[in-house]
Each structure stands twice: as structure tokens, then as C-alpha cells.
Amino acid sequence: MNNVLAYLEWRGDLSFSQSGFNEVDNLILSLLSYFDFKEMLPAPGEGEISVEQACQVYFHDRDMPAPPDEPANSGRTLQWLLYAMAQCRRYKKMKLSCAVDIFDKDSATQFYALCIHINRNRAYLSFRGTGDDLVGWKEDFLLACIPEIPSQREALNYLERVAALYPEKTFMLGGHSKGGNLAVYAAASASEEIQNRIVSVWSNDGPGFQNEMLISDGYQRIAFAVHHIVPKSSVVGMLLAHDEHYKIVDSSQVGLLQHDGFSWVVSGNHFIELEELTIQSVKADRAISKWLQGLSLEERRQFVDCLFDVLYASGVTTLSEVRRDKLKALTASLPHVKEIPKDSRERIIEFLVLLRQIIRRLSIESKLDRIKKH
């Protein structure tokens, strides 16, 4: 499959002086933030380690990875991503630094970022998207409820801290999913002095913002540098308000699975671009927007709190647990559903019905599209 892993194989021998930084490089550096480096990477102010060195340390007491049969944003594929980058002239000498990892259930904060030094003068700040833990998913839902979620505040703090540590550098900011939102938020909220050092901002299928952000002076100053890339059946990347300028790319996956950046189709040094979103992506965006517009900000917050209170009370802590045993999670949550106010209970049911309809329609549309191609 022609994806970012194939790109590493085809073009990994080209230096950035031979072929400049492009949108595929951006996605690779965004996805690298999902890798579980543990305590390997230096914290801010504690030095740097190359991609090649990080790979050597990580696999020192582990089996070397094999190419994944079906690449996905998972541990095995991410291991191969790091290994492949460490074999490439293009990436192996890049320095990694300033790793920050914050996780707090009480404040619904899930934040991770690292600084990737492309060369002596430029660095890419990579913000991790939502992981498997429900804490991160709750924070995503809060995007529709409050002006600033905790990880957005952390992203701005991170940018300011790294900019102070490397006063001679210019920066690119990017991330996948929520990480893309954090990159845009940090760039838009930074001082003009820091904004003048930002050359590009990449949101890879990242959710949008409330309208106030897009009309702010800070966002307007940086809007020219923002690149928003979404797959053809995007749902996450179309949530909330965006600028109208976004690039639609092809994906080898179906429905919501197109959110996985490893499924985006690459040709040369770019993604395969399409002219428009699929019909069901547009319908999903309209349906979710209509549902949100029917609720005040306070009602949205109550809905989010109740939904996740029920999930936590059932004993699940990750999305994988919900997917793995839906019946068990549902059974465990029923007693707690009865305890919440009737209005909130009805909103949760409405949302789950809407989500089920969206997933089913996207899946059918994608399957029909595959049949047409064959």
C-alpha cells in the first residue's frame, strides 16, 4: 500500500536539501508523537537524542520489528515507523528533545509533545492526538463546551517554553487528530514575537474550534500558515468550526477508519488529492452540527460530564475496553444511567443513536465505493 511507510522506503534516502519538507514529512513527524518512548527522550533543557540513537536504545532489549501486514496507528506499526525512520538518511540524524507527558484524570488532561529538530535552524513541534484512554476522549468532547481545554493551555505553554530554549530556531507545529487542534491553538494564541518564528502549522484531520477562535486577531495573524488535511470521509476533522480551506486526500480505509493517518494514500512527495468529501461525510458534519446547535454550552458540558461519569462508573477506562466487550460495558453502565437526570439521559441516547447511524452510513458508502473501483 502506498502510504507513509512506503514513502520512507522510496524517498528516505533523499536529504532535505535534495527534496524539501512536504506534507508527507509532516504526517510522519505527527505520527511519531504517538510512539511510546517511555522515559527515553530528554525533557526540556535536558539535551537531545537522534532518531537513530532512540531506535538503538528502544530495541536494545527487544526483538526487531517486522513490517506490519496492515498498517494502523498501533504499537506494532509505530515500532516499524521508528525503525524505518532510523534507517533513512532523511530522518535518522534528526534530534529529539523536550518530551512532555501530562495525564490527569481529575482535570481531564491528556497531553504529550516532543520537539523534532529537522536541522540547526528549524524544528517541528509534534503534538500527540487522542490515545486509547477515556480521559483524552472526554477532553475531545469538551472542545464543544468550553473556550479552552486543558491540553490547549498546555500546548501554548509548551510552545512558549521550547521557543525560549531555542531562540535561534524557526518552528513548524503539527499533530494528528486532537494534536492538530493543539498545534493550531498554540500558534494562534502565541505572542506576535513567537508567531513571527512559525513557518507552518499542520492539522492532520484535527477537529476545529468554536467560532470565537477563528475570528480572533491571533488566529488571523497565523491563518496563512495553517494547513488542514482531511481524508475523504472525514468526521473528526470536520467537527466544529474551520476555515474553508482544507485539502481532501484519498484513504485505503473505510468510514471512520480513514482517520488513521497510516491509511492515507501517497504518491511521490504528496498525498493523492480529491476534489470533494464523500456525501456521508458532509451529512455527518451537518447532523452533528445540528445536534450541537440544539444545546447550550452549559447543556453540552452537562452531557459530556454525565456520559463519561457513566462510562467510568461502569469500570471501563479505555476505548478498547468498550469496543472489546460492548455488552459487558453496557450492562455495567445501566444502573448508573438510571441515576442521571432524565434530560441528560435522553441526550446520551440521542447521541449514541446518531453516532451509530453515522458509522453505519459511512461504512456502507465506503463498501459501495470499493465495489465501483473493482
When divided into structural domains, the chain yields a total of: 2
Is the domain of 241 the same as that of 365?
no
176: which residues sit within 8 A by CB, 6+ positions away? 27, 30, 31, 33, 34, 73, 129, 204, 205, 206, 261
Among 66-80, 128-142, 229-243, 332-346, name the most confident range. 229-243
Is the domain of 267 the same as that of 290?
no
Is the domain of 103 the same as that of 249?
yes
Which of these three, 243, 277, 311, is where a domain ends?
A: 277
Residue range 58-111, pLDDT digits in tens: 998 888 777 887 777 778 899 999 999 999 999 999 999 999 999 988 888 899
Is the domain of 201 the same as that of 346?
no
Is the domain of 91 the same as that of 24?
yes
> Domain range for residue 56?
4-277
Is the domain of 157 the same as that of 185?
yes
Contact 237, 205 (CB under 8 A): yes
**Least trusted range by pLDDT, from 8-17, 51-60, 68-77, 234-243:** 68-77
Mean pLDDT rounded to a whole number for the chain: 89
Does residue 343 register a pLDDT over 60? yes
Is the domain of 152 the same as that of 265?
yes
Does residue 214 register a pLDDT over 70? yes
- What average pLDDT score do residues 277-302 get? 89
Separation between Cα atoms, residue 280 and residue 278, nearest integer Å? 5
Is the domain of 303 the same as that of 233?
no
Is the domain of 149 the same as that of 269?
yes
Residue length of the chain: 374
pTM (predicted TM-score): 0.92
Which of these three, 247, 277, 307, is where a domain ends?
A: 277
Which of these three, 277, 309, 333, is where a domain ends?
A: 277
Is the domain of 176 the same as that of 321?
no
Beta bridge partners of 230: 248
**Least trusted range by pLDDT, from 167-181, 247-261, 333-347:** 333-347
Separation between Cα atoms, residue 207 and residue 204, nearest integer Å? 9
Is the domain of 298 the same as that of 325?
yes
Assign residue 244 the CATH number of its domain. Answer: 3.40.50
Is the domain of 123 the same as that of 30?
yes
Does residue 217 register a pLDDT over 80? yes
Contact 116, 32 (CB under 8 A): yes
- What average pLDDT score do residues 178-205 get? 98
